[in-house]
Amino acid sequence: MFYVGKKTITRKFNFSKVIDKSDLPGYIRHYIHKDETILTAYKTSRDHAAFTDKKIVLFDNYSQFGIRKQIYSISYKSISAVAITFYKNKSEMDILLESGHSVCLKFINVKPEDKVRLRILYTCMNRMSSNQEPLEEDIKRLLENNFSIK
């Protein structure tokens, strides 16, 4: 969830499905630069998230008194802290931005391989937010969608 002071400016995201990077709608690809690599993507019934090697792009398609779409682009360099919590069938990623705003991404109906994907994604995000290169093995596993439990 994004906050400005105590005012919520977007709703919580409950991502329920990983989607193949090649199945991303064209309007999402429009917000991802040609020099960026999509690591993984998620969706809700109407919203999307794309995690690239440079940023997170969130698409909030919300209908209230008409149609409204909000797009959030969060550079890993703007992240002060990131935490992940695993539960039996869900996971939550809490992101604190340098601006003081926080973002909560929830992943529901997760399977063991989804938890591995999220752990690897979290590790990459944590390294990139600290101006470190992610491990090549982690990037390779994300790109190849290889999440067998070791």
Residue-by-residue DSSP string for the chain: --EETTEE-SPPEEE-EEE-GGGS-HHHHTTS-TT--EEEEEE-SS-EEEEESSEEEEEEEEESSSEEEEEEEEEGGGEEEEEEEE-SSEEEEEEEETTS-EEEEEEES--HHHHHHHHHHHHHHHHHHTT-PPPHHHHHHHHHT-----
* 121 inside domain: yes
Task: Give pLDDT tens digits for 2-53.
Answer: 444 444 434 567 888 899 888 888 888 889 999 999 999 998 877 889 999 9
Q: Is the pLDDT assigned to residue 90 strictly greater than 50?
A: yes
Query: Which of 36, 43, 40 is closest to 144 using CA atoms?
Result: 40
Instruction: Please give the Cα distance from 89 to 107 (Å, whole number).
Output: 9
* 17 inside domain: yes
* 150 inside domain: no
* 110 inside domain: yes
Q: Could you list the residue range(s) of the whole structural domain that residue 104 is in?
A: 3-144
For residue 150, what pLDDT is reported?
58
pTM of the model: 0.86
Residue 126, classified by CB atoms within 10 Å of its CB into exposed (0-12), middle (13-18) or buried (19+), is middle
* 149 inside domain: no
Residues sharing a CB contact under 8 Å with residue 69, sequence separation 6 or more, in sequence order: 59, 60, 61, 62
The domain that contains 74 carries what CATH number? 2.30.29.50
For residue 45, what pLDDT is reported?
78
Task: Give pLDDT tens digits for 108-135.
Answer: 999 999 999 999 999 999 999 999 999 9
